[in-house]
Amino acid sequence: MGHVNLAAILLALAPLAASGADYFVYAGTYTRGASKGIYAYRFQSATGKLRPLGVAVEMSSPSFLALHPNRRFLYAVGEDANTVDSFAIDPKTGKLTFLNQVSSHGEGPCHLALDATGRWLAVANYGSGSMALFPVESSGRLGEAKLVERHGSSHAHHVLFSPDNRFLLLADLGLDRIFVYRFDAATGSIAPNDPPFAAVPPGSGVRHLAFHPNGKVLYAIGEMASTVTALRYDPAKGTLERFQNVSTLPPTYKGASTTAEIAVNAAGTVLYGSNRGHDSLALFSIDPERFTLTPMEYAPTLGKTPRHFALDPTGGYLLAANQDSNEIVVFRVHPKTGQLTPVGRPVTDAPMPVCILFVP
């Protein structure tokens, strides 16, 4: 099936999927103030209503969350405690039951991801510039780290398994490199690819990564330079080649700002990136043949410091977590253009929200 046909089908299905499905939403937070841990919500895709369910579980600074492929287990980094915690999800209430906790084997764990089989979990430790890989038991519990990869005085910020699960990518903000490892899901082993990394423009501060749905293009957001770098990805070889670098800020903006999250819609037509300082989401249209980015608009997030955002599974809504104004804002996504319209009032029960996770 061609990419254009797939995109058309996804767009056609979006309104149907948005007819009334309910989801749990979890918000990871910093607990350096009033927050107590991970907060739960029920989200209705027919209306865009986000209903607070309270604290799902108490823990120290769960700043990033990840969902197991079977949707039964949730994982969180404990950024201040240098831990990774596993939880079972109650499918009726959304409450989280603690399973176990392991050391992240580094300082300041800030991101984690599960491979497609659900048997391995990778963690990026920002403070120590390291990555750790953990086995995941059938019970959802985490085993002790199988390996720890260190890059010296760097800042590991994002881990991402390739769409075919054959490679593991690591975004290193301190070194302005995207490391690529060959990954064996049968044994949980990794080995440096050839070449072992791709460089982004110096000073970018590469933070987070997002694959295009076609699996052949990778977009990397630069925290320090407020840019998005587009790279061609060879799925057979695991290699990356830069072909574009664009700003996430309006040309007239001269204030301080850094980026945070990046995402591509399921149709592969729109890319989103968050600006902290400008306090907006930058929208780019994606060329259907060249996959280059063209700025569309800069949508205010109606709050301060949008550290993270997430598209709901239907693609009909986007939730933005404004860290420093202590609120989550719901936006309706235009089915054709991807543009954003705020829905209802911001939800304010989760202090310092820094991660949003949808659970179908």
For residue 74, which of 102, 45, 108, 112 has the smallest C-alpha distance? 112
Q: Are strands 327-333 and 340-347 parallel, antiparallel or unpaired?
A: antiparallel
Domains contained in the chain, CATH given: 3-359 (2.130.10.10)
Give the pLDDT of residue 154. Answer: 87
Residue 176, pLDDT > 80, answer yes
Name which of 8-22, 59-73, 100-114, 309-323 the model is least confident about: 8-22
Q: How confident is the model at residue 19 (pLDDT cuts 50, 70, 90)?
A: very low
Question: What DSSP line would sit under 59-88, residue for residue?
Answer: -S----EEE-TTSSEEEEEETTTTEEEEEE
pLDDT band at 336 (very low <50, low <70, confident <90, very high): very high
**Alpha carbons 218 and 212: distance in angstroms, whole number:** 6
Strand order, beta sheet including 206-211: 206-211, 217-222, 227-234, 239-247
What is this structure's pTM? 0.93
Tens digit of pLDDT for each residue in 177-234? 999 999 999 999 999 999 999 999 999 999 999 999 999 999 999 999 999 999 999 9
**Res. 95: pLDDT tops 80:** yes
pLDDT higher than threshold 60 for residue 150: yes
pLDDT at 12: 38
